[in-house]
């Protein structure tokens, strides 16, 4: 059996500047240029680089040509892949200088875009967070506690284990830790696998990994805001008066809910100002003093407000918060200087320890009725996290509420299929007039029809009205269509044949059969898939060493099925698959999610082969795919499903 090598660069320093995800993407771009022109020159790069997300908003083609020409006057000089990478880094350096930013080694493992500087206070907060939550971790306990005064945090993050562990702190169970490479000494490929697992798992919990910021992974932002919704904390209903206010509350981002909660209590104790942010409005410490007086009068003293020194007041606020078991992750200086990230985390911590809300609100029964059926809830989660992973400007907190004005869907369509949206006819939020929302949603539906989606008797009004079934049906078709387009793009070697669900099914069965194994699936709703064995065999066929069969069960009991399912998801993400399903989707054989899982594995496999020295391997691989009429029902139209 061959071992996985990844994309290898002979220069170790150059190799260290990129993850395997980045290298595979850039290698694909390089091969495309070489295929078109027979060779690659510096002059070929401006139109390629100008379309990359890292540069598209910073440079036009002429500016890129000027930058590249500064280091080499001969734009007709032929370059190899390493030269391509060096040109990319050269342009990236100019982009960082132009944006006034700096590059952080802590985040280099998970992004190709611009990096944000980490100030010492935030670094100390991250270190305290890690020391607190991971102190008993079997692998990390030998390296903890971290000293915030050193670079130990960055050194520990290099192998990817810490970042994977932090994701599980934020959303427990996201990563099956059996899939993390945790040897004391990891080779470059094992480190890259950990980084890839981290990146794809971060997407799966809703982190935006396009233009990622320090707050997305290191701060544990998702963890501190996890309970700020009506399902987790129905007591939040006390903040609203009627059903219209409830709808507004549902649509608010967690940060906005936290501000609404804070102002609710401040108003009760006579604080006349409105807190609108986690920075300048909190600098003098007065809002904190009033808030703690409302929530914990037994720990409050008049002297907190009597002092005229903001730093002294901030210190007294932190002392009072500690009596509520709020750990000190920020300093008085951080409050006085208005650190937005640290103040957000501090307010959230106060909320978690004492939210001061009643469990007897008249609206509590309304909150308890707000439960979707299990499958709808899982699909809402899947599509919400998928949308957030795309890096559009709007962050989706509640799928069914946030898409009703049509703007989010227009952003998604423009991201996946640039040029399809007529922005001159689009209405940007906030939108008060209902017909403006309908206009947006009508354009969404029209674009869907142009893409040949099944949208019989569907109109923009259905989306505005929040019809969950139709919203899920549209988003499923959108995800599936974009997925099939990705596969089609890899099949340019076979005359651009359209990919079908049956192609994906047959590819998977042929791949497993070729590896000498006998398990097969009849369709994407084949109940035998619930034990997970087929997908573990498929992953092994794609990458022989990635599955540790000593960790695999026969999948005969519910517990064993779940064990296999969680392992499948993490292994798939580890090799580079971006997927958003849950173990339950495998166990219950959710037809839609099973298709996305299979297609993602297929995409990874064909992409790897397409980057090999002999591109004909890809052509022969895809040419063997055949459409079998017996599996044409592999994934029926969403409207045909309940």
Contact 545, 1 (CB under 8 A): yes
Cα–Cα dist 513/517, whole Å: 5
- Would residue 387 count as lying in a domain? yes
Three-class SS string for 268-285?
A: HCCCCCCCCCCCHHHCCC
Element of type H or E holding 366: helix 364-368
Q: Are residues 47 and 80 in the same domain?
A: yes
Residue 610 region, left (φ>0) first, then alpha (ψ -120 to 50), else beta?
A: alpha
- Would residue 168 count as lying in a domain? yes
How many CB atoms neighbour CB 595 within 10 A? 23
Give the range with max mean pLDDT: 8-22, 27-41, 173-187, 622-636: 173-187
- Would residue 212 count as lying in a domain? yes
pLDDT tens-digit profile of 394-420? 888 888 889 999 999 999 999 888 889
Q: Are residues 476 and 542 in the same domain?
A: no
Q: Are residues 389 and 480 in the same domain?
A: yes
Q: Measured in Å, how far apart are the chain's first and last C-alpha atoms?
A: 44
Domain final residue, candidates 219, 242, 267: 219
Q: Summarize the confidence of residues 51-57 as an average pLDDT.
A: 78
Cα–Cα dist 416/410, whole Å: 10
Cα–Cα dist 627/504, whole Å: 9
Q: Are residues 86 and 194 in the same domain?
A: no
Q: Are residues 205 and 249 in the same domain?
A: no
Query: Which of the four pLDDT bands, split at 50, 70 and 90, describes residue 615?
Result: very low
Domain boundaries, position 255:
234-353
- Would residue 635 count as lying in a domain? no
Reference 391, options 91, 103, 99, 53; nearest CA is: 53
SS3 78: strand
41 - beta bridge partners?
Answer: 78
Q: Which token pair is 631?
A: 């599996």
Residue 433 region, left (φ>0) first, then alpha (ψ -120 to 50), else beta?
A: beta
Contact 398, 406 (CB under 8 A): no
522 or 74, higher pLDDT: 522
Report which DSSP code applies to 557.
S
Q: Summarize the confidence of residues 273-279 as an average pLDDT.
A: 89
Q: Say what percent of the chain tops pLDDT 90.
A: 29
- Res 632 pLDDT > 70: no
How far out from the chain centre does Cα 138 lie?
27
Q: Are residues 210 and 238 in the same domain?
A: no
pLDDT tens-digit profile of 117-126? 456 777 788 8
Q: Are residues 214 and 239 in the same domain?
A: no
How many CB atoms neighbour CB 163 within 10 A? 26
Reference 224, options 158, 171, 162; nearest CA is: 171
* Number of domains observed in the structure of the chain: 5
Cα–Cα dist 157/491, whole Å: 37
Q: Are residues 211 and 242 in the same domain?
A: no
Reference 534, options 571, 501, 509; nearest CA is: 509
Q: Which residues contact 91 (CB under 8 A, 6 or more apart)?
A: 49, 55, 59, 64, 67, 68
pLDDT of residue 535: 96
Mean pLDDT, rounded, of the chain: 79
Q: Which token pair is 402?
A: 């946030």
CATH number of the domain bearing residue 141: 1.10.418.10
Report which DSSP code applies to 41.
B
188 or 520, higher pLDDT: 520
Burial class (CB in 10 A: 0-12, 13-18, 19+), 537: buried
- Res 597 pLDDT > 90: yes
Rg (CA), the chain: 26
What is the torsional sign of CA 214, 216, 220, 221? positive
- Res 4 pLDDT > 50: no
Q: Are residues 505 and 483 in the same domain?
A: no
Q: Which residues contact 555 (CB under 8 A, 6 or more apart)?
A: 530, 531, 532, 533, 561, 564
- Res 365 pLDDT > 60: no
Q: Which residues contact 566 (CB under 8 A, 6 or more apart)?
A: 173, 176, 583
Three-class SS string for 101-121?
A: CCCCCCCHHHCCCCCCCCCHH
CA distances, 209 to each of 39, 53, 383, 425, 578 (Å): 32, 12, 16, 29, 12
pLDDT of residue 633: 39
DSSP 206-222: T---TT--HHHHTT-HH
pLDDT tens-digit profile of 187-242? 777 887 888 898 888 888 877 654 443 333 333 455 566 667 666 777 888 887 66
Cα–Cα dist 629/512, whole Å: 20
- Would residue 110 count as lying in a domain? no
- Would residue 112 count as lying in a domain? no
Please work out, in degrees rounded to the nearest 5, the angle formed at the alpha carbon of residue 270 by the alpha carbons of 293 and 342.
Answer: 55
Q: Are residues 385 and 336 in the same domain?
A: no
Domain final residue, candidates 298, 319, 353: 353
pLDDT tens-digit profile of 538-559? 999 999 888 999 999 999 999 9
What is the torsional sign of CA 154, 188, 211, 102? positive
Q: Summarize the confidence of residues 369-376 as an average pLDDT.
A: 52
Q: Are residues 266 and 339 in the same domain?
A: yes
Q: Are residues 445 and 410 in the same domain?
A: yes
pLDDT of residue 629: 32
CB hemisphere CA count around 466 (13 angstroms): 10
CB hemisphere CA count around 510 (13 angstroms): 15
CA distances, 570 to each of 171, 213, 566, 574, 582 (Å): 14, 24, 6, 6, 10
How many CB atoms neighbour CB 635 within 10 A? 26
- Would residue 624 count as lying in a domain? no
Domain final residue, candidates 430, 462, 490: 490
- Res 361 pLDDT > 90: no
78 - beta bridge partners?
Answer: 41
pLDDT of residue 11: 61
- Would residue 105 count as lying in a domain? no
CATH number of the domain bearing residue 57: 1.10.238
């Amino acid at each position: 059996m061959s071992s996985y090598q990844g994309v290898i660069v002979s220069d170790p320093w150059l190799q260290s500047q990129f993850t395997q995800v980045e290298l595979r993407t850039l290698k694909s771009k390089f091969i495309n240029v070489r295929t078109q022109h027979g060779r690659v020159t510096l002059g070929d790069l401006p139109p390629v680089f100008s379309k990359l997300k890292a540069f598209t908003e910073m440079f036009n083609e002429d500016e890129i040509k000027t930058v590249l020409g500064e280091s080499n006057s001969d734009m007709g000089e032929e370059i190899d892949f390493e030269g391509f990478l060096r040109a990319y880094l050269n342009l990236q350096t100019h982009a960082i200088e132009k944006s006034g930013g700096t590059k952080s080694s802590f985040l280099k493992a998970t992004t190709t875009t611009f990096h944000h500087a980490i100030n010492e206070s935030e670094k100390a907060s991250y270190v305290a967070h890690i020391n607190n939550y991971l102190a008993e971790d079997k692998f990390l306990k030998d390296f903890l506690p971290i000293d915030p005064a050193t670079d130990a945090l960055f050194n520990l993050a290099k192998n990817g284990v810490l970042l994977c562990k932090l994701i599980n702190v934020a959303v427990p169970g996201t990563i099956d830790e059996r899939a993390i490479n945790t040897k004391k000494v990891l080779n470059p490929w094992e480190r890259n696998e950990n980084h890839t697992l981290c990146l794809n798992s971060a997407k799966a919990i809703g982190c935006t990994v396009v233009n990622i910021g320090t707050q997305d992974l290191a701060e544990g932002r998702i963890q501190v805001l996890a309970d700020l919704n009506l399902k987790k904390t129905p007591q939040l209903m006390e903040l609203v008066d009627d059903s219209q206010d409830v709808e507004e509350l549902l649509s608010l981002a967690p940060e906005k809910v936290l501000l609404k909660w804070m102002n609710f209590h401040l108003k009760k104790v006579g604080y006349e100002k409105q807190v609108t942010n986690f920075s300048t409005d909190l600098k003098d410490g007065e809002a904190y003093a009033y808030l703690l007086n409302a929530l914990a009068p037994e720990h409050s003293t008049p002297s907190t407000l009597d002092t005229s020194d903001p730093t002294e007041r901030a210190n007294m606020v932190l002392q009072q918060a500690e009596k509520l078991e709020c750990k000190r992750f920020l300093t008085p200086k951080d409050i006085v200087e208005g650190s937005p990230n640290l103040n957000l985390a501090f307010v959230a911590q106060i909320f978690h320890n004492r939210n001061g809300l009643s469990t007897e609100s008249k609206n509590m029964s309304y909150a308890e009725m707000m439960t979707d059926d299990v499958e709808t809830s899982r699909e809402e989660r899947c599509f919400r996290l998928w949308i957030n992973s795309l890096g559009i400007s709007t962050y989706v907190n509640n799928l069914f509420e946030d898409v009703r004005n049509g703007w989010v869907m227009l952003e998604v369509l423009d991201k996946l299929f640039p040029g399809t949206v007529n922005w001159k006819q689009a209405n940007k939020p906030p939108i008060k007039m209902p017909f403006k929302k309908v206009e947006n949603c009508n354009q969404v539906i029209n674009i869907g029809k142009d893409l040949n989606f099944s949208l019989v008797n569907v109109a923009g009004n259905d989306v505005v009205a929040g019809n969950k079934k139709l919203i899920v049906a549209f988003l499923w078709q959108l995800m599936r269509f974009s997925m099939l387009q990705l596969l089609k793009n890899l099949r340019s070697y076979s005359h651009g044949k359209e990919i079908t669900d049956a192609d994906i099914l047959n590819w998977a069965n042929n791949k497993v059969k070729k590896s000498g194994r006998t398990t097969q699936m009849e369709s994407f709703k084949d109940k035998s898939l619930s034990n997970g064995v087929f997908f573990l065999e498929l992953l092994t066929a794609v990458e022989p060493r990635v599955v540790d069969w000593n960790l695999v069960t026969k999948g005969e009991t519910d517990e064993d099925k779940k064990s296999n399912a969680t392992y499948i998801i993490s292994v798939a993400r580890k090799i580079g698959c971006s997927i958003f399903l849950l173990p339950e989707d495998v166990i219950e054989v959710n037809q839609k999610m099973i298709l996305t899982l299979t297609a993602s594995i297929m995409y990874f496999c064909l992409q790897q082969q397409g980057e090999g020295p002999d591109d004909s391997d890809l052509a022969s691989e895809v040419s063997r795919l055949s459409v079998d009429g017996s599996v044409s029902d592999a994934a029926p139209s969403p409207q045909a499903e309940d």
